[in-house]
Structure 1
Amino acid sequence: GIFCVGECFLSLSLSLSLSLSLPISPNPSSTAQCRYALGMEDGTIPDSDITASSAWSDSTEAKHGSTGEGDGAWCPAGAVFPSGSEYLQIDLHKLHFLALVGTQGRHADGHGQEFARSYRLRYSRDGEKWITWKDRWGQDVVSGNENTYDIVLKDLGPPIVARMVRFYPLADRVMSVCLRVELYGCVWDDGLKAYTAPVGHVMQLPGMPVYLNDSTYDGSTEQGMQFGGLGQLCDGVLGGDDFIQTKELRVWPGYDYLGWSREALGQGSVDIEFHFERPRVFHNMQVHSNNRHTQGVRVFSKVECLFKPGILQPWSSPALTLPVPLEDLKDPSSRPISLPLGGQPAQILRCKFYFADRWLLISEISFLSGRKLLFFPLFLSSNNTARPSEFAAVTPRPGLPVAKDDSSNTAILIGCLVGIILLLLAVIAVILWRQYWKKILGKAQGSLSSDELRVHLSVPSDNVVINNTHSYSSQPPPYPGSPPYPSLSPPVSPPLPPSVPHYAEADIVSLQGVSGNNTYAVPALASSSPGADAAPLPELPRQCLIFKEKLGEGQFGEVHLCEIENPQDLPTLEFPFNVRKGRPLLVAVKILRPDASKNARNDFLKEVKILSRLKDPNIIRLLGVCVSSDPLCMVTEYMECGDLNQYLSHRVLLDKTGPSHNTPTISYPALISMASQIASGMKFLSSLNFVHRDLATRNCLDRGGERHIKIADFGMSRNLYAGDYYRIQGRAVLPIRWMAWECILMGKFTTASDVWAFGVTLWEMLSICQEQPYCNLTDEQVIDNAGEFFRDQGRQVYLSRPAVCPQGLYELMLSCWNRDCKLRPTFAYIHSFLTEDQMNSC
């Protein structure tokens, strides 16, 4: 499986060249950690390795199936037929273990509407024989996208071991499609490209047949033998103690094991042959076997292995005999059995597994090996000395001397000893470094000084953190045309009626959040609400968080921008789509001060419980918590391109008729696409009766080139947006320029008031965030304007229509600002309206 052998070769040149081989055995766990993005999006896979059967034009060539540049994706030359003959091909140049794939449609700056609703996968390990991928139930069609912007990830069950992969888009009728893809997995360092074994048998238990066949084998089957492929013996799934129980859902009893009956096989052993890409030196074989002896199943009694150095060379003689220890054989637990292979060189292995009872059941077989004839000197200087964590399998580069093979046992022994010493030193260094981090984090539990955190916990990186100051012009730029409502002139401030409270301070703060002054995200989730039974969040180790910048602070806590260096090392963390091996994951960490009040702690834990239920493509995800000790922390996603306000404020509207300039541009369809995503996220929140309270562009995060928008709640804690909030008598702060009149005057927050805020957010976007809403009104005048809405005498002031905004879309905004909250549109209607507008504008 995926835990099969990896290797690391370290060649040292001190005064003479000494070739050393250091094999590394990864932790034999599941495939959860083999989910790195292989580099379609960031260019690690070069354009020359991405080809296609055809392309519609130069701007939709195969290379655009990765980044979405050009015209937004790869598009085949003609319409796609239901049979699916057009394909996009990726050549990885070496075998990889692929655990999942991701697809998107054509973006094209908001103009594209083509996407693939389904597709087939074909793969090859040698570039000649192509295999159609099928799931565990024999289905070969993979469901794809429903729109152009959402990323759809599909776990490959079973996973794929391949060098080349092809995507064949499908359609239920003749139509145009476009595609962008990403592959996720890791290098198949095990090197195994095929195994040959007898077909598995069926065990007949009372009232239940148990199928012990290799159902995912991708080779050929003839005369009771399977050959030329890979299957369940290396898929990373370890069978349990009871072979009837399975780890996969909706599969048949016995699925996790490949098993043989001594009686049906007609001989005393099971012969399995293993073929590798190239010759290797084998140190160890690990076999995960079942031992349910009460049902006639036992681990094998011994193994005999023959070694073949090359395809045309003879088998070694005599066979290597490996007896199996007899301790604990009465224990019915399944177990891994480690068998030493003595450093034998070979490209093909043939092993006989001898029966110890009526049945032999094997779930996984893996090898600890190192590539043969793969040495070169690495000169250790101050400039190129590698850290222990950077050692990886390497190949000779042109111009470097290649040492001759030395099969001497002495050289191998010296290499192993030196390798073990270096490995121990690396482990000790890691342990000491982690203890050092724990001490530093212990200090952080007290004062949480940002300077101290930066000095001790920051590391050099290439992250770009948006740190710009934000200012608004005192007067709005002139817009052509006269709006049907009064313009934004400073109104006189009449006194409010005595029956209407001027500030709803007593009712407005119910969940203060981490910063103490926050009033966002107060839901009304009942136990019967969708998602009420959310799974508990993982407890993340504090030492994995590296503090980068303090985003904000309040009365009870702080918000920090942090990074997790190796998110794939945290098996409980479901890290986002675009994380690659070696890339840190940016996260926002909300920290509650240890001296916070009991009520603040309860609010914090309540917020954790609420946010853990929110799982939607357009909502920031709560990834984990640190609540086992103080200070309490919650860890959420953070989009690397920052918030939408900063993203848009540094752009100008695309004008194809005007002169070109160096300022980044954005098109009207792209703005509508972003707004549609925000409406989609809010539609999800409203379905849970979740009231956000602080919807604005500053609380929408952007992932850059993909323009994938997610709704967050960090804006209020950031000093950058302090001017967007009005402080009530030194206590609560309110985003009054985005709030409905009933929120300001009566403290009434509902989904309808979020709709009002969405209208203001849409106005911000169409104004390219160049000014603050009601920029020519003071905070007091904005509050007085809310009083005009309450009195409803026709003197209320509305935001004027942005220049780029069509009249129909402006009327949608005005409906969001309807005085009667019952007459405001729902988010479902808004999302439908914007989706249709997006299609019409393309």
Structure 2
Amino acid sequence: MLFFLLLVFQANANAQIDPAHCRYPLGMEDGRIKDHDITASSQWYETTGPQYARLNREEGDGAWCPAGLLQPSDTQYLQVDLGQLTFLTVVGTQGRYARNSGKEFARMYRLNYSHDGQLWRSWRNRLGNKTMEANDNAYASVIKDLHPPIISRYLRLIPVTKMPTTVCMRLELYGCPWHDGLTSYSSPEGQLMMPPGYPIASLNDSTYDGAHERRKLSGGLGQLTDGVIGQDDFLRTRQYHVWPGYDYVGWRNGSLGSGYVEMEFVFDKQRNFTSMKVHSNNMFYRGVKIFSSVSCSFKPRLIANWEVEPVEFHTVLDDRNPSARYVTVPLGRRNAKALRCRFHFADVWMMFSEISFQSADTVIPTQITPVVTSPWPKEESSLPTTHKTATNPSAKDQPDDGNTPILIGCLVTIILLLVVIIFLILWCQYVCKVLEKAPRRILEEEVTVRLSSSSDTIILQTPPVPPRVSQMDHPYERVFLLDPQYQDPAGLRNKLPELSQSAETSACGGGYAEPDVTQCTPHQCFQSSVPHYAETDIVSLQGVTGSNMYAVPALTVDSLTRKDISVAEFPRHRLLFREKLGEGQFGEVHLCEAEGLPEFLGEGAPLPDRDGRPVLVAVKQLRADATNNARYDFLKEIKIMSRLNDPNIIQLLCVCVSSDPLCMVTEYMDNGDLNMFLSQREMESTLTHANNIPSVSLSDLLHMSVQISSGMRYLASLNFVHRDLATRNCLLDRRLTIKIADFGMSRNLYSSDYYRIQGRAVLPIRWMAWESILLGKFTTASDVWAFGVTLWEIFTLCKEQPYSLLSDEQVIENTGEFFRNQGRQIFLFAPPLCPPSLFELMMRCWDRDIADRPTFEGLYQALRPHVVQ
């Protein structure tokens, strides 16, 4: 007799979520959220129903509109079912544009959310406000970060008005799945810490959304699941305009009538728990330590009793390193839907900022084979219920008909399968622990990825790469900062004394205004000069509209006259605004439709065939009140853009500079930016074809890489330096043609990719070469470094941010390791989809010595032969 055993195994190695990186669109715009999952309290017409509330879409009459005039006292809502528990971090809204025929929008809204669709909670920001500002016109999309984020399956958006008005809305939600499955935790309320000589620290759970009775929190979630990790000094906070101690929830020993803090955790379903991670403060010289031990009891069902045998864990206390850290508590693969943990004090205070759980879900359904007859009906009950054999009642008195060997064989097969399952589970846990101990760096010697077909194999002729240090060579659970100064970029002067000297001692300096024009070669530069931290040298990298402006050899003021602008003046009234892409200090970037543009530009214009329909363009617009310097910079950018003419570079099409506001019109691609395009796709396979999952092939990724190298080769030939090369700045059309742009810096969606230096400049430090961060030196060689990171993004399908397990400060610290060159620098791991020879090419892009990095011409020639023409 045959048995079929179906095994589904899912292991969450690292369930912590960083809100800054968990910002993926959840499917309103692209249709992954289905129409039946979008409902509303009312609708004006069938054509303004909830199914039309999709950002940037124009179906129906262009948006969801509740019935009648919205009154200040009304509670009309748009409801979205996300299908699973989700960590929501961003909400984007629009009004009803309807191709310039609509004018309705909401200026404010509130959010309600629910785990089960029954109990609804109201969202509040960290200061307790429920209302969020929305739109001030019908076309622009407004992206708002949720501080704190929301963990929920159901979301209701409730438009708010101060006077009767008609309201219409479109919506997109951003976030990622909540794999923890935690739906609520209960604990004693946090307490006040009033030390002499220090500010009062309020260690309460200020964003908790459950019940608060008799100094007990119950039935909700709060700061322990908001993804914000507390700093080493608990008085310092990562949020603005909050009180000292905000990031932690803390309790004083003895104040609870016991030597421990008891917390209960409830989950969405029964889970097989492998570990719990608790981020705990350890500032021992202030009387704060991690817990000395923890005891966790389990409950398989909410109505059951707590199991008698708990899991106990004793920590190793640390009186030398005051850094906050994650403490991993093994939970022994216990099955439960609820946990009760008692954390025992090790000192006067105990403080937590985040708690997460890891679990492995194993589903073994019953067999799907015909009924099996057994001659031993009484012994049947001794079999596990999951594999219990059904008995034919009429066979009770029948003699043994020879089925005994078959049944024994089946039982042996099941036992062997269970042994294999247990072995796989233990092996996976081992791998998970290894991955948790260090940033994810997979050595080629340890993991070999073989591509399935010979057509996917490429060989790049590259010189040998010198030995490198992997992130596994330093297996710390957390990359401890060696010095508190690293929390302030200016501390690099103290961290690296050799960087503290002035740029005047350098023969070449660290400027970037005139790239590749130096008094010595790049190799001589950092052989002969003493580097310094260039925070005071780096001025804003943004153009006046908030987008990066290419660095080029200096242009004189005289050259920036209207007669020198080679592109034509376009009638301003033909630009129809659709969406605001971003903004800067003196201007904005808009997505527009340009009517009659192909005819205006004539033959040879780089525009797609739109059959007479308006063409999508990006419009950079300078505000009318901009300063004279901003106007000069804007005209300078037009001058620069008008010199660019390459199939893989966004082209300036026309301008509107005869009157204010000044505008430049550039190409825009239907598929948006490459980061968003790849993050929504999987690698091409039989599974993706069968399920109509959007996918890309290895050939597609190589084709994209070649195009980017070609565009950068063109810029390098003109001595242009981009300074912000990344997938977010590569636009893509329907034929997978890529054009390099510079909009990424101005977009709120990518704000987490930039690091702000003391309010003066935002820097894409995860893409920047070490000399750009430490010396302020931007050259074609630093663009090559960024190209290597861009290749890494492409072959990870943009599923995570570079150095995702390092904080911004730790990324800066790592650049110091590149400067010291003592073999301790951390490199990005090899993407599983990436052929080894291509990863070697990436490693050459990240060479410490500028002179040893490849040129864009060399990169193009190395990549080009492996693309099918």
* Category of TM-score, reference length = shorter chain: 0.5 to 0.7
Match of 2:646 among 718, 725, 747: 718
Shift of 1:183: 0.5
Residues 419 and 293 (structure 1), Cα distance of their counterparts in 2 relative to 1, 3 Å cut: closer
Match of 2:33 among 36, 45, 58: 45
1:71 match: 61
Whole-angstrom CA distance in 1 between matches of 2:624 and 2:457? 39
Whole-angstrom CA distance in 1 between matches of 2:257 and 2:3? 60
2:116 match: 126
Match of 2:260 among 269, 286, 289: 269
1:579 match: none
The residue correspondences of 1:677-756 to structure 2 (distance < 5 A) are: 679=621, 688-693=630-635, 713=641, 716-718=644-646
Residues 622 and 156 (structure 1), Cα distance of their counterparts in 2 relative to 1, 3 Å cut: farther
Match of 2:598 among 644, 649, 654: 649
Moved more, 289-298 or 26-35: 26-35
Match of 1:614 among 524, 543, 551: 543
Aligned residue for 1:264, secondary structure, equals coil
2:363 match: 373
1:390 match: none
Aligned residue for 2:319, secondary structure, equals coil
Shift of 1:20: 6.4
2:769 match: none
Residues 86 and 714 (structure 1), Cα distance of their counterparts in 2 relative to 1, 3 Å cut: farther
Matched, 1:30 2:21: no
Whole-angstrom CA distance in 2 between matches of 1:374 and 1:622? 57
2:501 match: none
The residue correspondences of 1:462-541 to structure 2 (distance < 5 A) are: none
Whole-angstrom CA distance in 1 between matches of 2:209 and 2:171? 23
- Code of the aligned partner of 1:218: D
- Code of the aligned partner of 1:61: G
Map Cα deviations across residues 706-751 of structure 1 (whole Å, 9 max, x no partner). Answer: xxxxxx93784136999x99xxxxxxxxx9xx79xxxxxxxxxxx9
1:280 match: 271
Residues 694 and 212 (structure 1), Cα distance of their counterparts in 2 relative to 1, 3 Å cut: closer
The residue correspondences of 1:274-353 to structure 2 (distance < 5 A) are: 274-326=265-317, 328-353=318-343
- Code of the aligned partner of 1:717: N
1:358 match: 348
Whole-angstrom CA distance in 2 between matches of 1:95 and 1:217? 18
Matched, 1:415 2:405: no
- Code of the aligned partner of 1:313: A
- Code of the aligned partner of 1:713: M
1:225 match: 216
CA contact (8 A) 1:76 1:86 kept: yes
Gaps of 5+ in 1: 1-13, 378-403, 444-534, 537-591, 626-635, 653-661, 700-711, 726-734, 740-750, 763-842
1:115 match: 105
CA contact (8 A) 1:121 1:165 kept: yes
Map Cα deviations across residues 577-609 of structure 1 (whole Å, 9 max, x no partner). Answer: xxxxxxxxxxxxxxx999x7659999xx9xx98
Whole-angstrom CA distance in 2 between matches of 1:623 and 1:211? 47
Aligned residue for 1:31, secondary structure, equals coil
CA contact (8 A) 2:112 2:157 kept: yes
2:176 match: 186
User: Once the two structures are aligned, what percentage of the paired residues are identical?
Assistant: 37
Matched, 1:154 2:149: no
Residues 22 and 122 (structure 1), Cα distance of their counterparts in 2 relative to 1, 3 Å cut: closer
- Code of the aligned partner of 1:316: E
Whole-angstrom CA distance in 2 between matches of 1:275 and 1:419? 25
Aligned residue for 2:200, secondary structure, equals strand
Residues 374 and 149 (structure 1), Cα distance of their counterparts in 2 relative to 1, 3 Å cut: farther
Aligned residue for 1:688, secondary structure, equals helix
Gaps of 5+ in 2: 368-412, 436-440, 451-455, 464-488, 491-512, 523-533, 553-580, 583-589, 602-608, 667-869
- TM-score, with length taken from structure 1: 0.52
Map Cα deviations across residues 394-447 of structure 1 (whole Å, 9 max, x no partner). Answer: xxxxxxxxxx9999984553122554799899945698789x99995979xxxx
CA contact (8 A) 1:651 1:666 kept: no
Q: Which structure ranks higher in relative contact order (CA pairs < 8 Å, sequence separation ≥ 6)?
A: 1
Whole-angstrom CA distance in 1 between matches of 2:239 and 2:427? 42
Residues 647 and 129 (structure 1), Cα distance of their counterparts in 2 relative to 1, 3 Å cut: farther
Map Cα deviations across residues 106-145 of structure 1 (whole Å, 9 max, x no partner). Answer: 1100121111111101111110111110000100010111
Whole-angstrom CA distance in 2 between matches of 1:297 and 1:249? 24
Shift of 1:281: 0.3
Aligned residue for 1:59, secondary structure, equals helix
2:153 match: 163
Residues 241 and 143 (structure 1), Cα distance of their counterparts in 2 relative to 1, 3 Å cut: same
Whole-angstrom CA distance in 2 between matches of 1:416 and 1:47? 39
- TM-score, with length taken from structure 2: 0.51
Whole-angstrom CA distance in 2 between matches of 1:306 and 1:15? 36
Match of 2:189 among 196, 199, 207: 199
Whole-angstrom CA distance in 1 between matches of 2:59 and 2:3? 51
Residues 15 and 692 (structure 1), Cα distance of their counterparts in 2 relative to 1, 3 Å cut: farther
- Code of the aligned partner of 2:266: H
Q: How many residues are aligned here?
A: 506
Shift of 1:35: 0.7
1:468 match: none
Aligned residue for 2:20, secondary structure, equals helix
Whole-angstrom CA distance in 2 between matches of 1:691 and 1:597? 21
Residues 361 and 437 (structure 1), Cα distance of their counterparts in 2 relative to 1, 3 Å cut: farther
CA contact (8 A) 1:23 1:368 kept: yes
Residues 600 and 53 (structure 1), Cα distance of their counterparts in 2 relative to 1, 3 Å cut: farther
Residues 298 and 109 (structure 1), Cα distance of their counterparts in 2 relative to 1, 3 Å cut: same
Residues 240 and 679 (structure 1), Cα distance of their counterparts in 2 relative to 1, 3 Å cut: closer
Shift of 1:685: 8.8
Whole-angstrom CA distance in 2 between matches of 1:756 and 1:62? 37
- Code of the aligned partner of 2:107: R
Shift of 1:610: 8.3
Shift of 1:314: 2.3
The residue correspondences of 1:755-794 to structure 2 (distance < 5 A) are: none
CA contact (8 A) 1:22 1:419 kept: no
CA contact (8 A) 2:26 2:33 kept: yes
1:80 match: 70
Whole-angstrom CA distance in 1 between matches of 2:47 and 2:353? 48
Whole-angstrom CA distance in 1 between matches of 2:293 and 2:414? 32
Aligned residue for 2:194, secondary structure, equals strand
Shift of 1:104: 1.1
Whole-angstrom CA distance in 1 between matches of 2:47 and 2:595? 29
